Structure 1
């Protein structure tokens, strides 16, 4: 007798949305659009004839049947991922899958990989960049390096190092019409934001600076692009 199954390609979108209680966060994790996640979930609901989420104006929550279904789907996806890993031992032996942000990868990790390869010639590194913490099982990740406070759910986190953070900009901007001599001088300049470091609100508060809107300026979801913008005089970045 044929199995009654939902669209299998839609299940990861549903599981991620159920875990985050956010279609937007699920889209970010899966590197797809908000609309793609919404359509995938609607496809499952239409196919099964059930409602998985109660949709509000700015939030979603699981229905009782949705919560029960999410738990079973998560278990099934974990089992499929584990079975896939177990079935392909030769392909994963000697491979280290690393996930981190593009900025950390490009400016710190990649320039130092040759040292690791010299000491571990039998291990091939597979590096992927993402702005969110990966699902270690479904994404096949061995190690993730992230900027943050730790305390991540479902993983073992080990502190690596402190980081000194301060404003950086191009030399032309530093010596321009409004020179940067003290923190308060930032009020004359555009702030550059990226998604992976300490935010301007925290830094300005620690520096004792008032009267500057910490949210103004240009925002990038890539640390690499944020650095390039600062190099070309687009504003001041925390680096």
Structure 2
């Protein structure tokens, strides 16, 4: 389909309905009637030859084709919105946007915001938490925190710190030795990219030279932050980033009863090489590097 024939109104209606899971909710957001949204989407389906939604009584769900189309449109509209906001709105204060994973944002960046404000009262930080990679070339994101081994083509990167993972638990759980792992649930979370060097329980048991207990029950989460919260709540033993639970360890909400600790990946500070960093962005970058040096 050529660009000049793209049905932009229908694509906007589809994106809203996919995001909200309802034609009615999409219509309310777009200030049109549900019938108008339905007509737009049916016209889009007719033009593409695809069925994009499974229609239910009170909601709609995406088909395989719709599920492939939705994230592309979502990211595109988000980029339009962010870039237009940056270009058309005159801000009285300087704003710098940082993109990072959900867990890193909540557990590492947010606890340090008071320090940043005290050092840079004239800069407002906008934290964009997402486990999906952002394209620094086409978004309003100034700095991204990349987690991995690299390299990162087209980006200027500096290492922040290398992560370490170890078993942790609520002290009330009474876990003292590796033998206790046979009697408590193991808490896991899903890695976005399956790599042999990921710090998983399998890798930990191999390094500890122990057999993984078959009778141990498990809890699995899609996000590391949720795994941390489950451990804090006493639901089992989690193998998580020590950098992200520093506050919980210091407060005694979690303990690391035994080792070994194993290496994770490296957090990198990344900026788009094709866009010179402003003085405010450079100030934020230097603050991040200074905070990482305290790890």
- TM-score normalised over the length of structure 1: 0.60
Matching residue of 2:228: 227
1-side partners of 2:129 and 2:164: how far apart?
23
CA distance change for structure 1 residues 144 and 216 in 2, over 3 Å: closer, same or farther? Answer: farther
Aligned: 1:9 with 2:12: yes
Alignment-derived partner of residue 188 in structure 1: 183
Match of 2:166 in 1: 166
What is the 5 A alignment of 1:112-131?
112-131=112-131
With 144-153 and 184-193 compared, the bigger mean Cα shift is at 144-153
Shift of 1:237: 0.6
Q: Cα distance 1:87–1:218, how it changes in 2: closer, same or farther (>3 A)? A: same
Give the drift of 1:93. Answer: 6.5
For 1:24-43, list aligned pairs within 5 A. Answer: none
125-134 or 91-100, which deviates more:
91-100
Asked whether 1:106 is paired with 2:109, we answer no
**What pairs with 1:30-179 in structure 2 (closer than 5 Å)?**
46-49=45-48, 84=84, 87-88=87-88, 90-91=90-91, 94-136=94-136, 140-152=140-152, 155-173=155-173, 175=174, 179=175
Which is bigger in relative contact order (C-alpha 8 A, separation at least 6)? 2
Contact preservation (8 Å) 1:82, 1:137 = no
Q: How many residue pairs are counted as aligned between the two chains?
A: 200
Secondary structure of the residue aligned to 2:97 is: strand
Give distance in 1, aligned partners of 2:159 and 2:187.
27
Structure 2 alignment gaps of length 5 or more: 22-40, 51-63, 192-197, 241-295
8 A contact 2:79–2:138 mirrored in 1: no
Match of 1:63 in 2: none
- Aligned equivalents of 2:235 and 2:212: distance in 1? 21
CA 1:80–1:132 in 2, change beyond 3 Å: closer, same or farther? closer
Distance, in Å, in 2 between the alignment partners of 1:106 and 1:123 is 20
Q: CA distance change for structure 1 residues 50 and 155 in 2, over 3 Å: closer, same or farther?
A: farther
- Following superposition, the deviation at residue 162 of structure 1 comes to 1.6
The structural deviation recorded for 1:201 is 2.4
Per-residue Cα deviation, 1:83-138 (whole angstroms, up to 9, x for no partner): 62663262497111122233323332222222222232221011132222233355
Report what 2:205 is aligned to.
204
Shift of 1:191: 0.9
Bigger proportion of residues as strand: 2
Q: Is the 8 A contact 2:188 2:218 kept in 1?
A: yes
SS at match of 1:159: strand
